[in-house]
Amino acid sequence: MKQSIMGDNKPTLFSPYKMGNLNLCHRVVLAPMTRCRAVNSIPNEALVEYYRQRTTAGGFLITEGTMISPTAAGFPHVPGIFTREQIEGWKKVVDAVHKQGGLIFCQLWHVGRASHQVYQPDGDAPISSTNKPISNKWKILMPDATYGRYPEPRPLATHEIPQVVEDYRLAAINAIQAGFDGIEIHGAHGYLLDQFMKDGINDRTDEYGGSLDNRCKFLLQVVRAVAAAIGADRVGVRISPAIDHLDAMDYDPRSLGLAVIERLNKLQFELGSKLSYLHVTQPRYTAYGQTEAGSHGSEEEIAQLMRSWRGAYVGTFICSGGYTRELGLEAVAQGDADLVAYGRLFISNPDLVLRLKLNAPLNRYVRATFYTHHPVVGYTDYPSLHKVNSRL
């Protein structure tokens, strides 16, 4: 079911949109992106400036992945939302966004096996659905800026899973205390919840493994617990059924996506309230996300896959993953998405909304500074269009 649009004209990226109780002035979304600037996992003034720069009146932002617990980290200097100091740090970010008329959700994140003992309390093994490590095709960024191998994870015991669900619930409550307008549950990109959903990873024989219903169970328990705690209309969910990032393969991604959507639709009906949105990453994310060029299957096949999920979901549908201005305009105009989230283009263009609207030139991003820790360089020093023009 698609949101109704006022008037007969097709919507554009710059048309207003009502997402539950939130009124958006346009449909360009800041996608969640790890940036490694939260020193000691506490949001600081650098984050305040970064999100402030990318805020527009009536614009929607989703934060970088934010740790729900001490075991959730897989990168250096990523923020958390499980201590009082972290909550207070996020309050400053949220206040800056709200002051400029923006809306912001906190992405709740647990990386699962995509971690290393160096990031774990007491040097323990990372947790997952399995004891299979991520292959040597992938490398983990270490605290000293070198890259290492992913270690063998420890499969969560069945009786341990309710505690992780509780960690998500408490993190959501903390996010609302920090002033966030809602939260996004990160169930994508090969992280913990995805490690349970994908049959290329999940080799469990308990109630969380085997059938599609069992593999979706953990995610649905998290969504239900968080929705009960803060309200369904404050909860977004991100999935990536067709992406093999960090070896997150599924042999039937279409069916997996439809199974998740069927269960989310049913949950919405039971709760008598829609979730805020479903956020699905386009399969080209892996091809383009790691390099500057590449391909990942037929464009038409990918489009049909995304449309099958879009058509099945009852509610707001956000797409992301390598979208250009043209692809974003097309996705909204054709009804393939309600909102389009942009990542790397937003890194180097803090005023991306204005640039897209004017079809103005874009700053080139510098990949080498994506995950460095400098509070300014490669983070808040990309010029706005106004500053560029003032130099001419």
The structure tokens listed for 274 are: 């829609």
**Tokens 């969640």, residue located:** 32
Phi-psi sector, 156: left (phi>0), alpha (psi -120 to 50), beta: beta
Sign of CA dihedral 43, 47, 52, 56: negative
The conformation of residue 41, written as its DSSP 8-state character, comes to G
- Residue 198 to residue 272: CA distance in whole angstroms: 29
234, 181 Cβ separation under 8 angstroms:
yes
Active site residue 191: yes
- Residue 323 to residue 195: CA distance in whole angstroms: 26
Residue of 50, 119, 191, 342 marked active site: 191
**Tokens 């109780």, residue located:** 21
Give the list of residues 6+ apart from residue 347 with CB closer than 8 angstroms, or none. 33, 35, 365, 370, 382
- Residue 308 to residue 137: CA distance in whole angstroms: 31
Q: Which residue type is seen at 61? A: L
C-alpha closest to that of 364 among 349, 379, 385, 374: 349
Instruction: Report the run of H or E that residue 147 belongs to, with start and end.
Output: strand 147-148
231, 276 Cβ separation under 8 angstroms:
no
Active-site positions?
191
